[in-house]
């Protein structure tokens, strides 16, 4: 399988997982006194996408034909901690949606023989 085809199939699987993911919504509240949670709520927001965050697919070590193809095509970057990261750009700010994409993408890559691919994330 060509590297472009591998990427496109993994991306399609990731997008399917992202679209099927229904995040747990959250409510953000602003209190009259930001240092006192028992003070009256002055404003609140409903965030249907849940918590905000970032997700990516990490491949370590950063070598092999797939990593080379990604690097040559401007997809991903060397990780600060070693290896290679492909950031999830889809899913808006929703950590849950981005992580669903990254997990599905990494699972597809492992099925295609990129055995060191896994999903990672952090809350914003």
pLDDT, the chain, mean: 96
- Decide if 114 is inside a domain: yes
pTM flag (> 0.95) = no
- Decide if 14 is inside a domain: yes
* pLDDT computed for residue 83 by the predictor: 96
How many domains are there within the chain?
1
- Decide if 71 is inside a domain: yes
Q: Which domain holds residue 59?
A: 3-21+51-123
- Decide if 100 is inside a domain: yes
- Decide if 101 is inside a domain: yes
Q: What is the 3-state secondary structure (H, E, C) of 4-29?
A: HHHHHHHHHHHHHHHHHCCCCCEEEE
Query: What whole-number distance in Å separates Cα of residue 79 and Cα of residue 27?
Result: 33
- Mean predicted confidence (pLDDT) in 17-43: 95
Contact (Cβ atoms closer than 8 angstroms) between residue 57 and residue 102? yes
- Decide if 41 is inside a domain: no
pLDDT tens digits for range 80-122:
989 999 999 999 999 999 999 999 999 999 999 999 999 999 9
């Amino acid at each position: 399988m060509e590297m472009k085809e591998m990427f496109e199939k993994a991306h399609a699987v990731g997008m399917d997982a992202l679209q099927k993911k229904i995040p747990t919504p959250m409510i953000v509240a602003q209190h009259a006194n930001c240092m006192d949670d028992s003070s009256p709520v002055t404003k609140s927001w409903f965030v249907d996408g849940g918590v905000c965050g970032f997700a990516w697919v990490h491949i370590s070590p950063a070598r092999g034909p797939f990593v080379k193809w990604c690097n040559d095509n401007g997809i991903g970057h060397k990780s600060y901690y070693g290896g290679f990261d492909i950031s999830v750009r889809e899913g808006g700010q929703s950590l849950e949606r981005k992580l669903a994409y990254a997990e599905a993408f990494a699972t597809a890559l492992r099925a295609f023989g990129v055995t060191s691919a896994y999903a990672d994330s952090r809350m914003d």
